Amino acid sequence: MFKYVPNILTIVRFILIPLIFYFALQDNYLVAVILLMISGCTDVLDGYIARRFNFITDFGTLFDPLADKLTQISTLVVLVIQNIIPIWILIIVLVKEFLMILGASFLYGKETVVVPSKWFGKAATVIFYIAIFTSMIKKQFGFQYSFDFILYDIAVACTLFALIMYFKIFIQVRKKPQA
């Protein structure tokens, strides 16, 4: 039973996505931030448990990053709907994720089907989450500072850097002869 805990935590993150979306859409950003933090904690915990106890499964390998991306994208969507961030930020993230999926589909059948996340991808995600938290807290409490947009600029730059680095990995993997 314990070996399924990481997968259960991943499923919990999927369940949290519509709740985060709903509360943010209702201008209840404090609850949305709390749920987003719970989602982040379950993400860290499921990854730790899976690696520490070697409970890595095909389900987790596929659905853990999907839960991360859907959480991030749905949160950005609601921030665009609420006119908190400009749509171009969401478009850049969507294009990057589409290109990542396209690249993964080209690698299907190669030895390395799943390219593990790298520090640059994780850094972009973390900075995006900090920016999202900052935007929601700013909106919830009516703060007037614009620090969150500096974070979005950094997150977008990191996302574009990650896309370039993953593209380089894609080219290297694609050039390897099949076994």
For position 137, what pLDDT does the model report? 93
**Are the beta carbons of 124 and 161 closer than 8 angstroms?**
yes
For position 103, what pLDDT does the model report? 78
Angstrom distance (rounded) from CA 149 to CA 131:
7
Q: Determine whether 104 is exposed, middle or buried from the number of CB atoms within 10 Å of its CB (0-12, 13-18, 19+).
A: middle
Name the DSSP letter for residue 53. T
Indicate the residue type of 156: V
Q: Determine whether 20 is exposed, middle or buried from the number of CB atoms within 10 Å of its CB (0-12, 13-18, 19+).
A: buried
HSE at residue 161, side-chain half, CA atoms within 13 A, is 14
* Domains of the chain and any CATH numbers: 2-175 (1.20.120.1760)
Q: Quick one: which H or E segment has residue 133?
A: helix 119-141
pLDDT along the chain (179 residues), means of 10: 89 97 97 96 92 88 89 96 96 92 70 65 90 94 86 94 87 69
For position 111, what pLDDT does the model report? 55
